[in-house]
Structure 1
Amino acid sequence: MCYKRQNGGIQIPLVEERLSKKKLEILLDNLKGKAIGHPTLEQHRTPGWIASDIVWIARQLHIIENRKVLDLGSGVGILCIASVLAGASRCISVEIEPESISLQIENIKSSETETRIDVIRGDARVPPLRRGCCDLAIMNPPFGTVRKGTDLEFLKSALSLCPTSLSLHLKNEKSREFISREMKKIGKEAKVLKTYKMELKQIFEYHKSKIRRIDVDLYVVV
């Protein structure tokens, strides 16, 4: 395998070469992140092991390679970078918060994926994009604990632009029933593929513990 250069002690393979799932996880975990999250935006970084697993699932489903990917509320770019390194031809990244965008651009440069990722500043709920701009949305939207229903707004926005979505949402039976029902209303089918135990670090002042563990569902919507 050919390597480009060192990034924080980690060798980064050429994008065209195959990364192992573990190497991708390590690379993603070494990207820069925010020390303090924006509370009203519910910014939660996607852990490297979850991001790498999601794009690996997308590869197994044959829905990511040589496809255009969309990430709404992309934060510091974890899922976009994971997508192009897993074989996506391009990723459109939509983020509203300036500090996250700055860090994302640094991460894109350090992973040498800048020729395949377009970063747009905008509201993920009303993104400045046209229907059909992408083939697949891969997202970790706000969970809707601060503003109820935000995760569904992101999901509907993504599906107005591309036919398929892989999206993370808080796990509970009411949410599963609600998401399934709302997707049927727009002619879509939602299926839970996997449940993750996600660790959230203390990035908001109102968090009482340094690490919280929550269950999140990975949905595929088609």
Structure 2
Amino acid sequence: MKRRKLEMLLEEVESFQEPDVILEQYSTPATVASDMLHFAYMKGDIEDKKIYDLGCGTGILSIGCKLLGAAEVTGFDSDERALNIARANAKKMDVDIDFIYSDIEEVSGHAQTIVMNPPFGAQKKGSDRPFIKKALSTGEIIYSIHNRGSYDFISKYIAPAIISDQYTAFFPIKRTFKFHKRDVERIEVEIYRIINEL
């Protein structure tokens, strides 16, 4: 599947109805999701793989993985309302995904590939760390989205795992909360591919 076709399909995914600012529930834009997942697909990390989506929200990354031929996809989130939307999205897109209600610390098992858009830590410093730790304990290859300028910290934090690839992208955030001043704020993010030897 071409990246543009994937993006068009992912634009149909419904977002949060009542996003929680503390959980930093910003929807992953279809542009960013399709870029990252198509990159992962071209690396051989999606098709026929078992995949975990940590902090899956309304399921855009999970759905994208399944559309690209993942063998098995499980999305984990601690917000039941978001999971209900994710389940409805998966049904609408006619993909079979297991969505599980779970705090990040409680996730267990093993996946060949992890995809995630963890909190950036804007509301609570360090809130991305439990996601990184869990990814390192459950996955072999990890794709993760972070604030631009995170490379040095992430590189040290994940050692001996390594960042094999990275690129920057614009992440448009629509006006979601009262403190947002613009209709759309475009922030720069870094997307990492991490190789982890469990």
Q: Which TM-score applies when normalising by structure 2?
A: 0.94
**Matching of residue 64 in structure 1 with residue 46 in structure 2:** yes
Letter in 2 for 1:128: V
**Matching of residue 78 in structure 1 with residue 55 in structure 2:** no
Which stretch shifts more, 79-88 or 22-31? 22-31
> Could you say which residue in structure 2 is the equivalent of 1:127?
106
Q: Detail structure 1 runs of 4+ shifted over 6 Å in the superposition.
A: none
Distance (whole Å) between structure 2 residues aligned to residue 140 and residue 205 of structure 1: 22
RMSD, aligned α-carbons = 1.3
Letter in 2 for 1:57: F
Letter in 2 for 1:202: R
3-state SS, counterpart of residue 167 of structure 2:
strand
| Offset from partner CA, 1:38-61 (integer Å, 9 cap, x none) | 000001111112111111111221
**Matching of residue 52 in structure 1 with residue 34 in structure 2:** yes
Distance (whole Å) between structure 2 residues aligned to residue 31 and residue 42 of structure 1: 18
**Matching of residue 193 in structure 1 with residue 166 in structure 2:** yes
Residues 77 and 108 in structure 1, CA contact (< 8 A), matched pair in contact too = yes
Residues 94 and 127 in structure 1, CA contact (< 8 A), matched pair in contact too = no
**Superposed counterparts of 1:51-200, under 5 Å:** 51-114=33-96, 117-124=97-104, 126-130=105-109, 133-172=110-149, 175-184=150-159, 187-200=160-173
| Offset from partner CA, 1:178-218 (integer Å, 9 cap, x none) | 1111111xx21124521001100111122122211100000
Larger Rg: 1
Distance (whole Å) between structure 2 residues aligned to residue 73 and residue 182 of structure 1: 20
Residues 107 and 134 in structure 2, CA contact (< 8 A), matched pair in contact too = no
Residues 37 and 65 in structure 2, CA contact (< 8 A), matched pair in contact too = yes
Aligned length: 195
Give structure 1 stretches of 5+ with no counterpart: 1-18
Displacement of 1:35 in angstroms is 3.8
Distance (whole Å) between structure 2 residues aligned to residue 140 and residue 199 of structure 1: 14
Distance (whole Å) between structure 2 residues aligned to residue 78 and residue 108 of structure 1: 9
| Offset from partner CA, 1:56-77 (integer Å, 9 cap, x none) | 1112211211001111110100
Residues 56 and 62 in structure 2, CA contact (< 8 A), matched pair in contact too = yes
